[in-house]
Chains A and B, each alone.
Chain A
Amino acid sequence: MKAISLLSKLIASTVFVFINLLSAKAQDKPIIKLDKVSAKDFQVNSPVVDNNANAVILVDIGSTEFEGNTNGDFSLVFKQTKRILLRNRNSFDVATIKVPIYMGGMTDEEESFGNFEATTYNLENGQVLETKLDKASLFKEKYNKYYNIRKFTFPNLKEGSIIEYKFTIKSPYYEHLRSWQFQDEYPVLWSQYQVTIPPMFDYISVRKGYLKFSIDSVASVFKTYSIIDPGEANVASNIYRFSGNATAALWAMKDIPALKLEKYTSTNKNYLAQISFNLRSIRFSDTYTKYVVKDWFKTSEDILKKPDYACIKDNNGWLRDGIKSIVSESVQDEEKVRKIYAYLRDNFTCSDHDSYRQSQSLKKTFQTKTGNVADINILLMAMLYNQGIESDPIFLSTRDNGWPNESAALINQYNYVIAKVLLGNTVYLLDASQPRLGFGKIAEDCLNGSGRTINKKTPWVIPMSPDSIKETTNTAVFLNNDSLLGVIGTYSSNLGYYESLEARNEIAKEKQEDFAKDLFKVYPQEIEASGLTIDSLNLYDEPIGINYNLKLKFGDEDIVYFNPLFDEQIKKNPFESAERQYPVEMPYAKNTVFTLNMEVPKGYKVDEIPKSARVKLNEDEGMFEYMIAKNDDNIQMRCKVSLKKATYNPEDYATLRDFFAFIVKKEAEQIVFKKIK
């Protein structure tokens, strides 16, 4: 805290510089003061409000200002006022508000919560009736060691009530200037956020979402800030006053539609209209500016200097014996890396896949065999280093955390770290935090566009695009006539890598017997499956193979209808909804090939078989092929569905859906066998 109280002394000598003012043309006026709730507010007329809106956020106004405090520093003052119309009782949950208040963690400076007011408005016989929430109904709850929660619920709710609340949070943590979310699961009629920043502070703002701002302006306002430095023991306190032009930025949106959840979307965070802030720099004087956000070269250097990552290259003598027993006789680097990787993957538990920071010391991770993803992969890098093998951390953002913005070195957007190792001429990306993950493979959730190398000389972006990952599943079925048993055969399928991983995880959680049961359940009564064997189940670098036997009970029917794809057919269109707002994001591109070689069952002849067909998806983005041929004794068919990419734009959605509709229809077709009389 010492360093921060110095702040006031340093900046007191600063001369403020005028900032060039940019002002976008305002289409709407910001709300300075909210009008009192009146009868007309209960009637909403907006293009974004339809019957599906259980609630409508009428206004949501927020601001963050800086204020000098009495600890020789600035505080952030965040204010919010929100007014919501509850159109029916299904939105009453909205009337229970929970506000998290940061308590500091490391330090014990708690954010303060105040100026709280909450009121329910009801329209009765044309009159607006107010019910104020009594202060005794504001509850404080300790959520965990980092957060307290302030909770309240509105009294006297009816269908059609308007609720309004406001509060102020003062915070000493100006690295965490509160972000603002304009969009919500309910439509919002007006949302605005104003941030006023003293000249010595500089923030980078990051915007997300596709919606347009009604107001997007920056103005200069003259401000005076007073900071009181309490001084040390026996030293009188000082007051520092400084004035200058602060930057007042204002953003507003009007008529914001409710955010809709869709399938095959990695996260809504990529589309939700919001703005967030990263402290770039603090200018203490004309000659000294402290940069918080730097370029990637300097940022990498800083990260690697911090104890979290510096420990990779510590002596770590305590590791030696453990490593020795893991690598044993190996001398080749690759062999050592593989052994260390497998040891961590198979013996350590990852309790949290959402951090690039260590949660505990390297030694503790090694001893307890548990930690977050950073603990485990940093340990991996430290163990490699111990064996003289260099590696780089790769920061990435998982799919559910949203796309990273690689244009500035904003490390808070990442939530995951893996290791990059060069062996010979091959680069391997290693993640020891995922059970059963193959050497050099990336977990599905990490395929989110890109990763960032943390290296002070080569801090390059590593592409990790879902479109670049191709999954291929090959299935072959052979059926022939057996003089005793009738039609029997074999099924064998080589799964794609991620499909294999999924199967491995399933088998680990249940018994192989139950896995087989689930697998065989799909066959109709006339087909008996048995004798499951699984290849490469424990060879994690390889895809697995699934093999079993089939027996068909044709009975004595005159006509037999037979689907040559068995259960491999796609029975249901995966794209159910008729329309789409956001891109379809699948984790990888997928290719499935099914082949059947079948002897015509004894005593029957083929009366009819489906026609061969081939369809392309948008020229070269995908293909469906259904090839079938017969002669007197045999039927051969090959069915292939291939998608060349993993991401499809909303414009392509209808085509994609039609493509699958065609597949579903074609794959339902049957072969007709007729008894030879």
Chain B
Amino acid sequence: MKYILSFLSLCFSLVVYAQDYKVSLIPDSLKENASVVQRFEEERVVIKSIDKAIITHKCAVTILNEAGDRYSTFEIEYNKLRTLNFVVGRLFDADGKQLKKVKEKEMADQSEAAWFEFVSDSRKKTYSFYHKSYPYTVEFESEIELHGIYHLTEWRPMSFSGDYSVQQSRFVVEAPSDYNLRYKQFNYPTQPVITTSGSTSTYYWEVFNQPVFKNELWQPSAEEYMTSVVIAPTKFSVGGYTGDMSTWDGLGKFQLTLNKGRNELPDNIKQEIHKLADKLTTKQEKVEALYNYLQLNTRYISIQLGIGGWQPFEAKFVAEKKYGDCKALSNYMVSILKEAGIDANYVIIKAGSHIKQGLWKDFPAPYFNHIICCVPDKDTIWLECTSQTESPGYMGTFTGNRNALIVTENGGVVAHTPVYSANDNKTITNVSANIAEDGTLIADVNTIYSGIAQEYPHNLYHGNTQKERDEYYNHKYNLPTYKVENISYKETKGKIPLMDEYLSITSSGYASITGKRLFVLPNLFSKIDKLPTDKPRKFDILIDESHTAIDTITLTIPKGFKLESTPKNVVLNNKFGFYSIEYNVKENIITTIRTHIENENRFPASDYLELAKFYDQMYKADRAKMVFVKSE
């Protein structure tokens, strides 16, 4: 033991963790831009066996000012498969003197499921010290016991929040020497220190003195620039099921065992399926009809109890109750399709609108939080089973453009979900408008949204009442005093869904009249904002979505004015995209055509100022005014 300790102190520059929280010990470089300095962290995972592990976590942060208060609140989630053995919190003053200690029973305990889930066995303990004499330090220590191992843990010592620096953080994993622990590290310069004592191997990772990390617009995913380590088992066991996740195939096979025997449908449902599908000829038609059947007959209700966090409810359950969570509904959809003779698979995916990477192909592990369904083919049909309104085959910002794990009958296979081009994601606006003598604008606006661009109007149309839409449109535009009326939609479902939106807008004082002059901003709606340039760019620029916007605006102004000044036509064409705005004035009719195309792409940080300049030019062009003078 002594040997290990001296070995460690050679490896790590910090010799003793006396856990002295004196604020004077914080290096100045860590205080820069910081509201919070993490003083000490140790996350220790002790793997006892194939299905038992203990995770202890101790973390101390010094709160420098009021803006950092949000980090003084402690929160820990636990449930039947993750029980909480103990938790303790301590408060220290600036000199590192302990002011207060709280135990578990003084902490608030609440159900995690109280509002956003229907039923869950997850609960959380929370505590806040509400201290106000800055700086102060809070330390929380907890121990969680895993009953069954599937998802182990991740170590992410740094924070995105823009005011959080890290003095030290350590990740320790102890496992039986024959355990076959797998790990994947991101932005960690060396390999972990691994020591073996008896039949236990211990892995150490540690970072020191990480200054505040400032976020930038359109930065690549965190794993590209932040230190983190993901660990995963090889053989594992949870809830009485065992598996091997060293390959994607193995992880898929494990899900197969969880799903086994859960596909059986009651006879009445089988009959309904055949009634619907048998008369149809193509696979596409059948899938569409059956997906529509699912959407009409089920709804999303989240139930997460024990192994039920990973195992779907049986198809029979959904058939009877007509509800389920993503697992239950996807499993039900797979069952329905199979009954109709269509090969379909359960798909495990990481959902969320800012997820750029669904999984790391070289490191199989359960990164996921959602389940969908797919009908494999050379042009695979993907189905989101928790939505009652989505088009069959459409995978938008929630699940599109990322790798996912398809659970086939033979095991797991990684596949990429659909990506949409600038030609798929379009916003085409046609405006026909009139300006009256007093400056009032009356406009008929038709916009055709497609692909990702239609997601917002789609949700507005399906998820809101007419009254709520009225309210939304009457807040949306940056117009002086206005009213939006006659809002209507036409929806076209399909692989690239369309939403056709119609509005009438009346805006009093849109054009301003000062004495003999009339000021008009001909570009009514599409206005780009500037990019911040106050700090030098550090990271690559990642444009993660392609999009085309074309506005055609025909504006009639009162007769008897003559043009005094008009903005110049602008055409900008560069590697970042294409922008143009052109004006055409014929008597009292102004026609404006504005086009902006942007493509999914990645640029080096050194391109940033050029990109910002492009945005400045568009910003200015979008807001250019036309001035007319009353003819004498």
Residues of A within 8 A of B (CB): 51-54, 89-90, 92, 96, 137, 139, 141-144, 149, 151, 153, 155-159, 260, 346-349, 351, 368-370, 508-510, 517, 524-525, 559, 561, 571-573, 576-578, 608-611, 657, 660-661, 664-665, 668-672
Contacts and interface: CB of A to CB of B under 8 A. Distances in A.
Interface in B497-517: 508-509, 512-517
A142 B517 contact: no
Given A347-B132, A369-B131, A89 B480 contact: no
A236 B475 CA distance: 72
Contacts of A159: 296
B508 to A, nearest CB: 6
B17 interface: no
Closest 4 CB pairs of A and B: A665-B509, A349-B130, A370-B130, A573-B481
A576 B474 contact: yes
Contacts of B475: 576
B67 A509 contact: yes
Interface string B62-104: 0001110000000000000000000000000000000010000
Contact of A96 (B301, B468, B623): B301
Contacts of B478: 571-572
Nearest to A156: B322
A561 B627 contact: yes
Nearest to A521: B530
26 contacts: A51-B465, A89-B388, A90-B462, A90-B463, A96-B301, A137-B321, A139-B119, A143-B114, A155-B321, A346-B132, A368-B100, A510-B67, A559-B564, A571-B478, A572-B478, A572-B479, A572-B480, A608-B515, A609-B514, A661-B480, A661-B508, A664-B480, A665-B512, A669-B513, A670-B512, A670-B519
Contacts of B479: 572
Contact of A153 (B109, B118, B131, B468): B118
Nearest to A145: B109
A153 B132 contact: no
A669 B463 contact: no
Nearest to A572: B480
B284 interface: no
Interface in B186-225: none
Contacts of A609: 514-515
A139 B121 CA distance: 11
A144 B299 contact: no
Interface in B28-80: 65-67
A51 B466 CA distance: 7
Interface in B88-140: 100, 108-111, 113-114, 118-119, 128-133
A660 B519 CA distance: 20
Nearest to A661: B481
Contacts of A141: 111, 113-114, 119
Contact of B480 (A346, A368, A608, A668): A668
Contact of B323 (A54, A157, A524, A670): A157
B625 interface: yes
Contact of B481 (A153, A349, A664): A664
A508 B132 CA distance: 13
B283 interface: no
Contacts of B474: 576-578
A218 to B, nearest CB: 38
Contacts of A157: 299, 322-323
B66 A508 contact: yes
A559 B299 CA distance: 62
Contacts of A96: 118, 301
Interface of B: 65-67, 100, 108-111, 113-114, 118-119, 128-133, 296-297, 299, 301, 320-323, 388, 439, 462-468, 471, 474-475, 478-483, 508-509, 512-517, 519, 534, 564-565, 616, 619-620, 623, 625, 627
Given A90-B464, A143-B110, A670-B512, 15 more contacts: A53-B465, A158-B296, A159-B296, A347-B132, A368-B100, A508-B65, A508-B67, A524-B623, A525-B620, A561-B519, A572-B480, A608-B517, A660-B481, A661-B480, A671-B514
Contacts of B464: 90
B480 A571 contact: yes
A627 to B, nearest CB: 15
Contacts of B468: 52
A672 B481 contact: no
Which of B463, B482, B514 has the most CB atoms of chain A within a 10 A radius of its CB? B514
A142 B111 contact: yes
A668 B512 contact: yes
Which of B131, B480, B517 has the most CB atoms of chain A within a 10 A radius of its CB? B480
B118 A509 contact: no
Given A142-B111, A369-B131, A158 B297 contact: yes
Contacts of B519: 561, 670
A351 B130 contact: yes
B131 A665 contact: no
A391 B549 CA distance: 65
Contacts of A346: 132
Nearest to B513: A669
A153 B514 contact: no
Contacts of A559: 564-565, 627
B544 to A, nearest CB: 25
Contacts of A156: 320-322
A537 to B, nearest CB: 14
A214 B450 CA distance: 51
A586 B133 CA distance: 35
A393 to B, nearest CB: 23
A623 to B, nearest CB: 19
B465 A561 contact: no
B108 A144 contact: yes
Contacts of A137: 321
B104 to A, nearest CB: 14
Nearest to B100: A368
Contacts of A151: 118-119
A508 to B, nearest CB: 5
B434 to A, nearest CB: 17
Given A156-B322, A158-B297, A370-B130, A54 B465 contact: yes
Contacts of A348: 132
Given A51-B466, A54-B465, A578 B483 contact: yes
B509 A661 contact: yes
Nearest to B508: A661
